[in-house]
Chain A
Amino acid sequence: MSEAVFEMVGDTPTVCIDFKNPKSYLALAPTFALEDSLRLRFDWLPVSVSPLTRPSARQPNEDRGTQHRRMRAEYYERDFRRYARVYGLELGDLYRNPDTSLACIGLLFAKRADDGAVRRYLQLSFGRYWKGQIDIEDDRAVASVLDDAGVATNSWKGFASGAGRDECERIGRTLREGGVFDVPAYIVAGDVFFGRQHLPMIEWLLTGKRGEPPL
């Protein structure tokens, strides 16, 4: 992870997410739970990473590498869906690749509002996107999510086309160039962790490394 990333996030525990990535969606609930348990707030940063690759159709005489990539992709789809069931989440097409910049700018906009706005915005935007209820490339749709999250949207249009877009691009570029290639990416105590499976480690780090370390 580059110095530029650590400089940008400072000492605040940070989580980087991508709206089009199901692993980010699956990470929302356990990350919120950890926030509540530790009585802290992560800094939620938007980043756009490579979309998931749809498994290729099985081919006769496919080479081992192709077969491996296909089986791995098929496995991960099953895996995302079985854990989505644990959380009662609906996952539509996992392989969509929309321009998520407006949703990202919406997150930055929500961060300027009250303390609970970010969580409400994330729950609503992810939920509606993954249920196929929203076009996240439409600024009116994102504005509607902000409204429903209790965020005043008077200055939304200007922010979305101006300072918000610049900030979103700067953050995303810094994260990607700095080594954030997957999501959710937790940046905590000078280290990066890809995946919500690290939450026990993150909790352990944030609570002074007390007790048995995670395995």
Chain B
Amino acid sequence: MTDTFDPLRSDSPLIVYVDFKSPYAYLAKDPTYALERDFGIAIDWRPLTLDIPSYLGSAKLGADGRVAQSDRTPQQWSGVKYAYMDVRRYASLRGITARGTVKIWDSSLAGIGMEWAKQQSRAILRGYIDRVYERFWKRELDIEDPRVIEAVLVEAGADVGAFAAYHTGAGRVRHNELQQRIFDAGVFGVPSYVIDGELFFGREHLPMVRWLLGGRRGPAPDVAYRHFGADATT
């Protein structure tokens, strides 16, 4: 199954890589759905399980909400603190709750659940993605617990009869193998958009992605966190 997988190619005109533990990917979710709606396309949603400590250090909060353990440099902390502040200001404008996480989660199981949902139907995939993101960022979901992930799949309408065997067997093997190939292909962060083999990292590229999907009409746009209405053309 994995032999035909190409990290930068798909039958869909657009690949989107997301990770449930990334608040930036969460913010990008709905504007990305808008591309599906506006262009009538089926986006190829793929999980990318970030290994955050490898590039941003690690940290864990104690019960009192203070940092209990950390190997981050001051520069890494500056970047992380700014990122969370930035996420919260955009999230609050859209009524999205994005509480800071207490640790760096292993989101691989949630990603395997996403692949499982994707195999069933697009509606189930969307139902799963929406539920996991919303609840995880409200700190209501333990995405490392297989029973929790299975329950969300059920809520999204998925048949989970064989999910336990999948996530401990073929699904885990596939996940681990594909993650390495995705990373080796140069996809290092989320959200990442791949169109015609070209990689765009971050939702600020949505104007460019939209322009490319729309046939490059008009001048090429710059990066921007821009609002898109149903009739947006930029």
Interface residues of A (CB under 8 A from B): 26, 30, 63-65, 67-69, 71-72, 74-75, 79, 83, 85-87, 179, 181, 191-201, 211-215
Contact = CB atoms under 8 A, between A and B. Distances in A.
Contact of A75 (B183, B186, B221, B226): B186
6 contacts: A69-B55, A71-B188, A72-B55, A179-B78, A195-B223, A211-B227
Instruction: Classify chain B's interface size.
Output: 35 or more
A212 B229 contact: yes
Interface in B1-57: 27, 30-31, 51, 54-55
A72 B188 contact: yes
B227 A68 contact: no
A211 B93 CA distance: 12
Given A72-B189, A75-B188, A212 B227 contact: yes
Contacts of B82: 181, 192, 194
Contacts of A191: 89
B188 A197 contact: no
Contacts, number: 88
A75 B187 CA distance: 9
A81 B75 CA distance: 26
B183 A215 contact: no
Contacts of A214: 90, 93, 224-227
Given A212-B229, A215-B27, A86 B221 contact: yes
A85 B51 CA distance: 33
B222 interface: yes
Contacts of A179: 78
A96 B30 CA distance: 39
Nearest to B188: A71
Contacts of A72: 55, 188-189
A197 B225 CA distance: 5
Nearest to B211: A86
Contact of A64 (B54, B89, B221, B229): B54
B221 A200 contact: no
B75 A83 contact: no
Contacts of B30: 215
A67 B224 CA distance: 28
Contacts of A63: 54
Contacts of B75: 181
Contacts of B136: none
A202 B99 CA distance: 24
B204 interface: yes
B224 A199 contact: yes
Contacts of A194: 82, 86
B173 interface: no
A201 B224 CA distance: 9
A30 B229 CA distance: 21
Given A64-B51, A181-B75, 12 more contacts: A30-B222, A72-B55, A72-B189, A75-B188, A79-B201, A181-B79, A192-B82, A197-B223, A198-B225, A214-B90, A215-B27, A215-B226
Contacts of B94: 213, 215
Contacts of B203: 215
B228 interface: yes
Contacts of B27: 215
Interface string B191-214: 000000001111110100000000
Interface in B43-94: 51, 54-55, 75, 78-79, 82, 86, 89-90, 93-94
B170 interface: no
B164 interface: no
B220 interface: yes
Given A75-B201, A86-B222, A215 B227 contact: yes
Given A72-B189, A196-B222, A215 B55 contact: no
A89 B186 CA distance: 26
Nearest to B51: A64
B187 to A, nearest CB: 8
Contacts of A83: 222-223
